[in-house]
């Protein structure tokens, strides 16, 4: 036999039995973001490498170590490690700055980072995220954070903690950077290799290093004094105060974490993360912030912006395993032609229906029906001759009969038949019926 080819390290199949949770995350995204005026955007999975070098920043781990870059026709291309840069490129290229602000966009899809695979960390993973362009006022920051929380609430994950910080702007950061470098320099030799490498280029990034010996250095009183100091300029400071004020008034719980700096270079002012205690060490489900200079850095008109992204695998790990999605009806019959005809009629009435094509015995077909559907319709010889159906509720194993001609009344028949202990499936079908979606 030919050798089996396996899935690549750090990548995973999302199998049919896992899909219920993914459909839930995707449906909730469409619903919650649409309700807040966001429009979906789908940008390509590969872009010019330069987009990420200039967009994400070439002092970041993402650009330095984690990109999947390849050459094609003498062009350097990269599989997107995140999607803000791609969305900004599209915003500029499609002249979206001419639309009335704010321009609100959301996306979902795979991202690629060459990282060490571990629980909650893959090389191909999925993000759902939003970007809002054109509003400088901190009400936009508050709305973005609320939107993330509303999405998590919709998924039934309401109690996650929000951490917030401000990075100030390039101006106020300059002084802080210098002070930080000066304070940390005596401890340089004890820093980890990553921190040493970032020391001059991006000293703020040192602060969220997870290496214990580095954390000990940052806990020293003289270092803490610098970290905890308020270095932001009056404008940035006011922005942060106003954001906190919005959140307080909106009843959003958060903690200010001065060590939160985020791994991407483009952030300024507001940065935030949403974390779950139930995820072990990869505990961040959402990361975001303001990026007021990115649009102009990538060649567009200067446009304030804010956005966030959530890791969908990490969300999926927090959600209860949903039961595999079942068919509405499985048609059990020895007569394939009649089975196809009935299946077609029911599908045309918007039911999810399948039937046996493998020529299985009646009893085996019933077993298959019990595993894969809420109802079986039995179409035996008697039924075909008598032009009626036997409808079997596979959750309760009760059955009833009704004439084939009244197939469009399937819902009513089904309802009468199990109105006493109607399943979750039927409840939802009936509420759709009541609201006029299904005739
Ligand atoms: P982390 O600190 O966990 O590496 P990050 O700061 O690199 O996260 P972002 O680039 O802000 O993450 O991405 C936002 C979210 O995407 C993260 O909060 C996380 O949920 C998810 N995420 C990031 N990298 C991965 C990965 N390699 N595998 C799975 N999910 C990821
Ligand atoms: Mg990372």
Looking at ligand 1, which residue's alpha carbon is closest to its atom 7?
263
Q: Cα separation of 230 and 354, whole Å?
A: 64
Helical H segments across 250-361, by residue range: 294-297, 312-318, 336-348
Task: Say what the pLDDT of residue 432 is.
Answer: 57
Q: Which atom of ligand 1 is nearest to the CA of 288?
A: 11
In the reported structure, the alpha carbon of residue 419 is separated from the centroid of ligand 1 by a whole-number distance in angstroms of 47
CA 12 – ligand 2 centroid, Å: 18
Residue 84 near ligand 1, beta carbon < 6 Å: no
Domains and CATH numbers, the chain: 16-169+232-318 (3.30.930.10), 327-430 (3.40.50.800)
pLDDT in tens, 16-26: 989 999 999 99
- Give the residue ranges of DSSP H helices in 253-351: 294-297, 312-318, 336-348
- For residue 65, the ligand closest to its alpha carbon is 2
Nearest residue CA, atom 31 of ligand 1?
311
Question: Which residues are CB-neighbours of 60 under 8 A, at least 6 positions away?
Answer: 202, 205, 263, 264, 265
Amino acid 439: pLDDT: 33
* pLDDT range class, residue 97, cuts 50, 70, 90: very high
Of the bound ligands, which one is closest to the alpha carbon of residue 115?
1
Runs of H (alpha helix) within 99-205:
138-154, 170-184, 193-198
Q: Is the CB of 287 under 6 A from ligand 1?
A: yes
Q: Give residue 416's pLDDT.
A: 61
pLDDT of residue 404: 75
Separation of alpha carbons 126 and 379, rounded Å:
44
DSSP assignment string, 81-108? S-SHHHHHHHHHHTTGGGSPSPEEEEEE
- What lies within 8 Å, CB to CB, of 279 at 6+ separation is 120, 285, 314, 317, 318
Which pLDDT band, with edges at 50, 70 and 90, does 102 fall under? Answer: very high
The CB of 63 under 6 Å from ligand 1? The reply is no
Alpha helices in 208-301 (DSSP H): 212-219, 221-228, 234-249, 294-297
* Residue 272 Cα to ligand 2 middle (Å): 14
Distance CA 263, CA 68 (A): 18
**Mutation test residue for ligand 1: of 125, 144, 211, the one with most atoms within 8 Å of CB:** 125
CA dihedral of residues 83, 88, 94, 96 (deg, nearest 10):
120
436: pLDDT strictly greater than 80: no
Residue 370 clears pLDDT 50, i.e. is over it: yes
Question: Ligand 1, atom 8: nearest CA belongs to which residue?
Answer: 284
Half-sphere exposure of 344 (CA within 13 A, CB side): 6
pLDDT of residue 438: 39
> Percentage of residues in the chain with pLDDT exceeding 70?
92
Q: Is the pLDDT of residue 73 over 90?
A: yes
**Atom number, ligand 1, closest to the C-alpha of residue 115:** 27
Residue 275 near ligand 1, beta carbon < 6 Å = no
Does the Cβ of 208 fall within 6 Å of ligand 1? no
82 within ligand 1 shell (Cβ under 6 A): yes
Model pTM score: 0.88
Nearest atom, ligand 1, residue 123 CA: 27
Out of 90-94, 110-114, 183-187, 347-351, pick the least confident. 347-351
Could you tell me the two tokens for 404? 């084939």
CA contacts within 13 A on the Cβ side of 249: 9
Cα(42) to centroid(ligand 1), Å: 20
Q: Give the integer Cα–Cα distance in Å for 394 and 369.
A: 8
Q: What angle do CA 15, 21, 27 make, to 5 degrees?
A: 120
DSSP class of 123: S
Which of these, 12, 288, 27, lies nearest to 125 by C-alpha position?
A: 12
| Rounded distance from Cα 282 to ligand 1 centre (Å) | 8
pLDDT given for residue 243 in this prediction: 98
Cβ distance 260 to 164 under 8 Å? Answer: yes
Place of tokens 């005809």: 341
Q: CA distances (Å), 152 to each of 23, 48, 136, in order?
A: 15, 33, 25
Written as six digits, the tokens of 15 are 């199998």
CA distance 81 to 125: 9
Find the 78 Cα to ligand 2 centroid distance in Å. 17
> How far, in Å, from the CA of 354 to the mean position of ligand 1?
40
Ligand found nearest the CA of 121: 1
How far apart CA 380 and CA 401 sit, in angstroms, is: 12
Q: Is the CB of 130 under 6 A from ligand 1?
A: no
Using only C-alpha atoms, the chain has a radius of gyration, in whole angstroms, of 28
Query: Can you tell me which atom of ligand 1 is nearest the CA of 262?
Result: 6
| 282 pocket-lining for ligand 1 (C-beta < 6 Å) | yes
Per the DSSP assignment, residues forming a β-bridge with 268 are: 290
* Percent residues over pLDDT 90 in the chain: 64
Distance 68 CA to ligand 1 centre (A): 16
**CA 21 – ligand 1 centroid, Å:** 19
pLDDT for 378 = 93
Contact 264/205 with Cβ under 8 angstroms?
no
């Amino acid at each position: 036999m030919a050798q089996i080819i396996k899935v690549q390290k750090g990548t995973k199949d999302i199998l049919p039995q896992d899909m219920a949770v993914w459909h839930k995350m995707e449906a909730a995204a469409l619903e919650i973001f649409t309700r807040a005026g966001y429009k979906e955007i789908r940008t390509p999975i590969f872009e010019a490498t330069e987009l990420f070098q200039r967009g994400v920043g070439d002092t970041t781990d993402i650009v330095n170590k984690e990109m999947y870059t390849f050459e094609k026709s003498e062009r350097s291309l990269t599989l997107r490690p995140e999607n803000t840069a791609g969305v900004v490129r599209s915003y500029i290229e499609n002249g979206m700055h001419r639309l009335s602000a704010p321009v609100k966009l959301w996306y979902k899809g795979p991202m690629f980072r060459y990282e060490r695979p571990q629980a909650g960390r893959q090389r191909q993973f999925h993000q759902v995220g939003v970007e809002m362009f054109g509003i400088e006022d901190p009400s936009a920051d508050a709305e973005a954070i609320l939107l993330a929380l509303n999405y998590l609430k919709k998924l039934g994950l309401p109690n996650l903690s929000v951490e917030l910080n401000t990075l100030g702007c390039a101006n106020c950061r300059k002084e802080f950077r210098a002070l930080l470098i000066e304070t940390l320099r005596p401890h340089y030799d004890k820093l980890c290799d990553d921190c040493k490498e970032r020391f001059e280029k991006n000293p703020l990034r040192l602060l969220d290093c997870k290496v214990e010996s580095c954390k000990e250095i940052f806990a020293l009183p003289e270092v803490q004094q610098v970290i905890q100091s308020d270095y932001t300029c009056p404008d940035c400071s006011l922005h942060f105060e106003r954001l906190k004020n919005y959140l307080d008034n909106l009843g959003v719980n958060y903690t200010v974490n001065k060590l939160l700096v985020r791994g991407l270079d483009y952030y300024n002012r507001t940065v935030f993360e949403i974390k779950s205690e139930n995820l072990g060490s990869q505990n961040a489900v959402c990361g975001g912030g303001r990026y007021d200079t990115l649009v102009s850095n990538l060649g567009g008109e200067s446009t304030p912006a804010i956005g966030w992204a959530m890791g969908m695998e990490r969300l999926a790990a927090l959600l209860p395993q949903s039961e595999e999605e079942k068919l509405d009806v499985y048609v059990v019959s020895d007569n394939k032609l009649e089975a196809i005809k009935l299946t077609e009629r029911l599908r045309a009435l918007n039911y999810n229906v399948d039937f046996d094509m493998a020529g299985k015995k009646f009893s085996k077909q019933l077993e298959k029906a019990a595993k894969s559907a809420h109802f079986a319709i039995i179409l035996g010889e008697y039924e075909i001759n008598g032009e009626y159906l036997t409808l079997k509720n596979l959750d309760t194993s009760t059955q009833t009969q009704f004439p084939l001609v009244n197939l469009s009344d399937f819902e009513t028949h089904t309802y009468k038949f199990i109105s006493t202990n109607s399943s979750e499936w039927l409840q939802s079908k009936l509420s759709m019926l009541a609201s006029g979606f299904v005739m």
